[in-house]
Amino acid sequence: MLKRPAVILLTIICLSLHAAALEGFGAPQRPAEPTPQERKLDGKIEPRRPGKTENELVAEAFAASIREALRKPSEGETRVRGLFTRVDCNAKGVVFIVKAGKRQLRLRRPGFDGLHIIAFTPDAAGTELTCGPRQPEGHVVATYRPAAAAAAAPRVKTDGELTALEFVPADFQLEAVKAVTRRARN
């Protein structure tokens, strides 16, 4: 059975290899034979119609696979995407600071043990969680149980208990943006 650091390292290695494979898609590639979309009836070739490029399709598929692989929140948990800026440590435990939009979340843990950590980006490779500022700051999806007293007492020192910290690419969106179609009114 693998221990947590070994599992994290293997995940980072696999993602690094996947990212390297995706970089190969960056070079423009032209098929030897034009696709049916490019061929006109008179035999002349016309450029590909406007739409999504192969790189965009690959990026969307990669983001969808990350969304699918993220730890699913349990009942009562909240999940946010943000910027992981630092870890504050003291005798009472550990507090992870995550900037989500304009809000700064302070998410506590009794320690580093038992925290679900995974990296879906190669830039998190080789980094370790230690107390202090994060250099560089990392984009994460943080899953936590909100503090019950947060709504009742505005002086609560933390926003909840962190259960998972998952490193994601900078352009990753937690939820896919779906086009909204309006129905015609009768």
Q: And the tokens for 178? A: 């779906």
Tell me the average pLDDT across 158-173.
92
Rounded to two decimals, the pTM is 0.64
95: part of which helix (H) or strand (E)?
A: strand 93-100
Instruction: Calculate mean pLDDT across residues 157-167.
Output: 93
* Owner of token pair 């692989």: 69
Mapped onto helix, strand or coil, the DSSP state of residue 99 is strand
What share of the chain in percent tops pLDDT 90? 38
Q: Quick: pLDDT tens for 29-62.
A: 555 555 555 555 555 655 555 677 888 888 888 8
Residue type, 143: T
What is the predicted pLDDT for the residue at 123?
A: 79
Cβ-contact 174, 141 below 8 angstroms:
yes
Render pLDDT for 141-157 as a digit per residue (tens, 0 to 9): 999 999 874 444 455 58
SS3 161: strand
pLDDT grade, residue 186 (50/70/90)? low
Check residue 72 and give its pLDDT.
93
Calculate the alpha carbon distances from 88 to 25, 107, 134, 136, 180 in Å: 40, 10, 11, 16, 42
**97 with 87: CB under 8 angstroms?**
yes
Q: Please give the Cα distance from 50 to 142 (Å, whole number).
A: 37
10: confidence class by pLDDT, cuts 50, 70, 90: very low
Single-letter amino acid code for the residue at 23:
E
- Over range 73-86, report the average pLDDT: 94
CA gap 37, 94 in Å, rounded = 57
Query: How many Å apart are CA 173 and CA 186, to the nearest integer?
Result: 36
Q: Which of 9-13, 47-51, 58-62, 160-164 has the weakest average pLDDT?
A: 9-13
Q: Across all residues in the chain, what is the average pLDDT?
A: 75
Q: Are 93 and 107 in contact (CB under 8 A)?
A: no
Domain boundaries, the chain: 4-26+33-167
Provide the pLDDT for residue 55: 84
For residues 97-102, average pLDDT: 94
pLDDT in tens, 110-141: 988 899 999 988 877 667 888 999 888 899 99
Instruction: At 180, list the tokens.
Output: 């909204």
